[in-house]
Structure 1
Amino acid sequence: MNPFRTLIRRAEREWTRTRNKLAAFPETAARLLREFEYDLSQDQLDRWLAQWFREAGGLPEQVSLHNTFGQPPITLFNNGRLVVDLYLWVAADTTIHSHGFRGAFRVLHGHSLQETYAVKVSRRIAPGVLECGLGVPQMSLLEPGDVRVILPGGKLTHRVVHLERPTVTLCVKTINEAGLHQWDYYPHGLALQRLDLDPDLIKEIYYFDYLLKRNATTAARYLRDIVAAKSVVMRMTLHEALCGGALELSEDAVDRCLAQIRKFHGKDGWFRRHVAQEPHLKELQFAGCETPLERLAAHFINGGCDLETAVRPLSRLAGRDLDRGDIEKLASSILDFEFIFGCALSPEDRATIKALVLKPKERIPRHLEAFGQIRRMRKFIAMFAPESRRA
């Protein structure tokens, strides 16, 4: 039996009854999710999904085909206006974002940290491109059964850091609402309206890759004209797709496309900050960390959180108060993750970095100064009282 059938039927009925009252829908969706009776274990859910995929006889139209939001996202119901989505999260972190829809979500399995931001726009660079300040987020640790509303547009900007692999969330939301757009926000102050790559642009770029192998001079002129014709936000959308490997292009084609975008925006301060982070802003890449506590601590280190912000969620997740010795052990285990700095390290450099983090008075060698995470980890550890002082 489909464990989500009752929720889907109730959501359909409520949507039919209240669809002209969109402003009230987030609270309606939240109520439905709170009242939804769910008692499956993670293994039981996995088995049911495997059976559902095999026996469904045709899936609902999937909102997201690829693993860009959820790994994977699974649409359980879709009538073109209302969607019930299940998200299986293996990656730890989502971007800071607003929404092009409204509704609510519930945590079914695992723990997540939700951060909500009060965004202040400082400059409109171009349509779909903003400079803004995010301020200090409000944080809440979410457990199985917790429900949060999703408000559209600028009414809610948040990030949800998923702390367990997997974490599972269930979402009841609208779809295809005219005039609503999703935005992605970056810590250095840039905000981009989230767009799909124009299908014509994708085909043009693939043709450029072909042309590059035939006549480099003709290809260069062709690429210049393509990029010149696009809006600033579409150029940035292409930049993100190229950097993320979303297009199957030769390495030479990718490099030339990025270089062409830089010709338009390379002198702009907002663009330079976006493509070349300062060392002190580089983050720990903690998606592969083993435990929820490691992920949460690494996230707080990345954010430069103060003790008051960090101590309560960490202690709650650990089930006890933590002292400096605990945090040192946690930092040591975080550093054991191979790609925690986003690149491969020699065994010697890894050992040196670990010693530098745990012995903060030692000077950082010049060849490791680019790893701004070292100083942030030192500062984070130092905030916690030694064990003897807490006793």
Structure 2
Amino acid sequence: MKAYFKDLGRTVLQRWKDNNFSLEKFPEIAQTALDANPPAQHVDLAAFMREFLLDDEQPFQTQSGFGQPEIVAYDHPRFYIQLLFWMDGTTDIHQHEFSGAFHVMSGSSIHAHYEFEKQQAITPHLHLGDVRMKKIELLETGRTVPIISGSRCIHSLFHLETPSVTVVVRTQNDPGTGPQFNYLPPHIALDPHFSDLLTMRRKQLLDVLEQTEDPSYAELVLEMITSLDFERGFYILQHSMGHLSDLGEWETVLTAFQKKHGQAASGISPTLAECVHRDRIKNMRSHIADPEHRFFLALLMNVSNRKDLLALVTQKHPDAPAAETVMRWAEELADISEEGISILDASFPETLDIPAEDQPELFLAALRHFLLGGKKVPAALKSLAPDGLQDVRDSFATSSLRVLHAG
């Protein structure tokens, strides 16, 4: 396997040298080389792993925490080739300080492309703006995608199979394209490599207060928010949001932050709410191994409306109606007990006086109703008063399944 990557590296090096090591040309060179001799067809993954484990003569390995793990297969002062293994990984929405191309060697992924508009720098490490999805696609084994350094290539990947493996041909670093921002929809870009040690220690100390159930927690956070600058205040808000919500003090502290920072703070609440939504789905995937169900989770995390979700389901399963495929997944993921039914994190409302044995049929019928547009109420839901149907709608709307009834 070393011979394959050595040949690939030499091919890239010669072509790049012929183009005077142009950074602008490198993504095309890398993509062309990967497509001409695709790893998915020429690399035996088991043989590669065995060789790497038993042969000490390997390229220099980085200290990167990216991948699960990252393995360098070819190294040159100007660029290198890495294999990234993904067990349950979902990348943050991010850009790169390097360029090149990546190739899906094993598995598949949902690939979402974004843009960042109306950008306003609060500090060099935190910017405000509008994070908007441009395109979402299914990447299957054998697909190669170019990587453009900087904000022209903002994307995220949700890996479906375990493991998924990508081969990346990349430059060491493209000067002037940093920082390598991560993006928090819908309004925040931040530098994940910026280290504010004082804020880190303060968050750790707040954890001590939370774990010891100190009654002064909310009061101290409120005092911090009213005195800190925007960037540090945001990180404290993000860190303490869960415990403040449990204490019933979140709105008070958020209002104080908004009052201090005015219009600049208007996008903080929806951004933090979206962080909670995405984290909830990331946590679900840790105990959901079926690639079909992980595909469903990827759509629930990344797609913003029902129409686009159904289009992607059709792309993957063209021989079945998309709505029926979604309903099959929902039924497979349903947890039915003596107490009632839940689907992922959506539960049948406790406010409704419906026997537990009748709840599954009603809950699934309601989901189908919303998924199909929710116009005429079917006979199966007539037993629910209008207020009851609204309660069921609210249960879905506040869960990871919210997109299934979004237009």
The alignment's TM-score, normalised by the length of structure 2, stands at 0.67
Q: Equivalent residue for 1:145?
A: 142
Change (3 A) 1:272 1:175: same
Secondary structure of the structure 2 residue equivalent to 1:23: coil
Change (3 A) 1:331 1:279: same
CA distance in 2, matches of 1:148, 1:115: 12
Contact 2:40–2:142, Cα closer than 8 Å, also in 1: no
CA distance in 2, matches of 1:200, 1:33: 41
Change (3 A) 1:99 1:293: same
2:104 maps to which of 104, 107, 112: 107
Contact 1:117–1:138, Cα closer than 8 Å, also in 2: yes
Contact 1:77–1:84, Cα closer than 8 Å, also in 2: yes
- Report the identity percentage: 20
Asked whether 1:168 is paired with 2:165, we answer yes
CA distance in 1, matches of 2:225, 2:53: 41
Following TM superposition, by how much is the alpha carbon of 1:170 offset from its aligned partner in structure 2, in angstroms? 0.9
Q: Equivalent residue for 1:376?
A: 403
Change (3 A) 1:297 1:207: closer
Structure 2, unmatched stretches of 5+, are 215-220, 260-264, 337-341, 351-355, 371-376, 382-387
Residues 88-126 of structure 1: per-residue CA shift (max 9 Å, x gap)? 223363332222211111111122232323432254444
Following TM superposition, by how much is the alpha carbon of 1:133 offset from its aligned partner in structure 2, in angstroms? 4.3
Q: Equivalent residue for 1:22?
A: 23
2:269 maps to a residue whose letter is: R
Change (3 A) 1:236 1:174: farther
RMSD: 5.0
Residues 151-180 of structure 1: per-residue CA shift (max 9 Å, x gap)? 111212222332322221111111233322
CA distance in 1, matches of 2:226, 2:16: 44
CA distance in 2, matches of 1:239, 1:83: 39
CA distance in 2, matches of 1:353, 1:282: 25
Following TM superposition, by how much is the alpha carbon of 1:149 offset from its aligned partner in structure 2, in angstroms? 0.8
Change (3 A) 1:229 1:89: farther
CA distance in 1, matches of 2:72, 2:223: 39
Secondary structure of the structure 2 residue equivalent to 1:62: coil
Residues 246-272 of structure 1: per-residue CA shift (max 9 Å, x gap)? xxxxx9xxx9xx9xx979846533333
CA distance in 2, matches of 1:74, 1:228: 46
CA distance in 1, matches of 2:78, 2:202: 33
CA distance in 2, matches of 1:52, 1:157: 32
Secondary structure of the structure 1 residue equivalent to 2:24: helix
2:155 maps to which of 152, 158, 161: 158
Q: Equivalent residue for 2:367?
A: 357
Q: Equivalent residue for 1:186?
A: 184
1:38 maps to a residue whose letter is: P
Structure 1, unmatched stretches of 5+, are 217-222, 245-250, 381-391
